[in-house]
């Protein structure tokens, strides 16, 4: 089984997923990014994982990314810190086989522009008692697909966006690889 991970930044979640599967040779990975000089690409290459970069035109106006995924015989797609809306042609090719990780408890604090510290700032500003992660299927809208899994953490009065982000990263690293494995075992 081939799993494509789309990421745009540091890549800690991509690495956690790849490491989780390291003793399961039936799973292979490819990492795709819309940015050329991001740590996720270097980390993937150190793990001997093929990488592919693309621009906005490749993603939205051509079939280049789709063709690459077909050439790779990709079975499943994970968005791990990837911020672009997924085009309809990709969703049609992988119905209920594209998942996203969101750093909040959807449906709250989702949608266009709600990513990274913006989410944590909004949660703290609203004086929420808890936050967490949501893993969901991807559809044609931001953070709108069916929820697969959520995990929660407490938000305290002392929390800052940075401290809340650390709590959220712990949940992401713990649960995302497990949920990916559960989902791909069912295909």
In degrees rounded to 5, what are phi and psi of residue 64?
-55, -50
User: Among the options 102, 136, 169, 173, which is catalytic?
Assistant: 102
With respect to CATH, is domain 2-185 assigned 3.40.50.170? yes
Q: SS3 for 141?
A: coil
Which pTM was predicted?
A: 0.96
Per-residue pLDDT of the chain (187 residues), as tens digits, is 999 999 999 999 999 999 999 999 999 999 999 999 999 999 999 999 999 999 999 999 999 999 999 999 999 999 999 999 999 999 999 999 999 999 999 999 999 999 999 999 999 999 999 999 999 999 999 999 999 999 999 999 999 999 999 999 999 999 999 999 999 997 7
pLDDT given at position 186 = 75
Q: SS3 for 163?
A: helix
Would you list the DSSP string of 91-128?
Answer: HHHSTT-EEEEESS-TTTT-STT--THHHHHHHHHTT-
102 catalytically annotated: yes
Q: How far apart are CA 45 and CA 106, in angstroms?
A: 33
In degrees rounded to 5, what are phi and psi of residue 89?
-65, -35
């Amino acid at each position: 089984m081939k799993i494509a991970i789309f990421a745009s930044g540091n890549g800690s979640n991509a690495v956690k997923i790849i490491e989780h599967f390291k003793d399961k040779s039936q799973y292979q990975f490819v990492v795709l990014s819309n940015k050329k000089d991001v740590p996720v690409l270097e980390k993937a290459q150190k793990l001997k994982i093929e990488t592919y970069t693309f621009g906005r035109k490749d993603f939205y106006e051509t079939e280049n990314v789709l063709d690459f995924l077909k050439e790779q015989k990709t079975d499943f797609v994970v968005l791990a810190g990837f911020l672009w809306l997924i085009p309809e042609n990709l969703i049609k090719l992988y119905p209920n086989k594209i998942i996203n990780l969101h750093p909040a408890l959807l449906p709250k604090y989702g949608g266009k522009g709600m990513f990274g510290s913006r989410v944590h700032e909004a949660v703290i500003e609203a004086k929420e008692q808890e936050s967490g992660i949501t893993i969901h299927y991807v559809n044609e809208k931001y953070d709108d697909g069916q929820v697969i899994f959520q995990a929660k953490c407490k938000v305290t009065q002392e929390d800052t966006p940075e401290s809340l982000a650390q709590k959220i990263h712990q949940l992401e690293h713990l649960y995302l690889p497990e949920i990916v494995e559960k989902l791909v075992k069912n295909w």
